[in-house]
Amino acid sequence: MRRVLVQVILLSVAVLTACQRPVHTIRQSADFSFEHGDYDTAATEYAQIADRYPGDWRAQYRLGLCLLEIDESARARDALEVAYSHRPQDSGIAEALAEAMFQQGDESRLFAFLRQRAESTQSPGAYLLLARYALELGDPDSAQVALETAIVLDDGQTVEPYLAAASFAERLGDLETTLRRLRQAYGIDHADARVIQRLKDLGEIPGPTIALPPGH
């Protein structure tokens, strides 16, 4: 009798295993759904992968993104925290996790997370992310400090900190600083379409004489 019971159990396991779709097949289907905006289907399929392999950071990351899209921020945060634990240097995962915290209204944890990440990585992108949410959380002073730090750390390599600083100044109604930051961005990359358009929006004509050197 015991032998028969063991055989039944083994057969049941074999049937269940055979019925499981291969992970690569599920991932392909999930990726297709994700890329076509079917976030409910994609979330269900990424969850299947994450259930089988909790350490699969790609599945956890995509699962988190899908859940954010369908307003399930609590579940999204759980998945993104797993992904972040495996890939703490991945800025995309960090941004998604920050958004999950923001959607949950967990302001204190969000600010602590962003500040700690910025201070530990010393990357311009991390400080720009801190600035963005500091402004969203009604802390313009912290946002300004973060933007200035990003500009220093970037050392004139990209236009991103200057574009963010220009948007910040414009939001505060400081058009003089807005224009100065855009002129600095133009000095770094005179072919950046975003910079050119924003200068034109302010009534400026982009050209060699309008460029300013990077810095404070």
The tokens describing 2, both together, are 């015991």
- In whole numbers, what is the pLDDT of the chain averaged over residues? 91
- Which of residues 17 and 215 earns the better pLDDT score? 215
Q: Residue 24's pLDDT is what? A: 87
For residues 124-144, average pLDDT: 96
In whole angstroms, what is the distance from residue 59 CA to residue 40 CA? 14
DSSP secondary structure string, 67-134?
A: HHHTT-HHHHHHHHHHHHHH-TT-HHHHHHHHHHHHHHT-HHHHHHHHHHHHHHH--HHHHHHHHHHH
In whole angstroms, what is the distance from residue 117 CA to residue 129 CA? 10
Give domain limits for the chain: 1-105
| Homologous superfamily in CATH for domain 1-105 | Tetratricopeptide repeat domain (1.25.40.10)
In whole angstroms, what is the distance from residue 97 CA to residue 63 CA? 12
Helix (H, G, I), strand (E, B) or coil at 172: coil
Q: Residue 21's pLDDT is what? A: 82
Please, which pLDDT band fits residue 9 given cuts at 50, 70 and 90? very low
Contact present, 158 and 188 (Cβ < 8 Å): yes
Q: Residue 181's pLDDT is what? A: 97
Q: Residue 3's pLDDT is what? A: 43
Q: Residue 174's pLDDT is what? A: 96
pLDDT in tens, 161-194: 999 999 999 999 999 999 999 999 999 999 999 9
Q: Residue 145's pLDDT is what? A: 97
In the predicted model, is pLDDT for residue 96 greater than 70? yes
Please, which pLDDT band fits residue 11 given cuts at 50, 70 and 90? very low
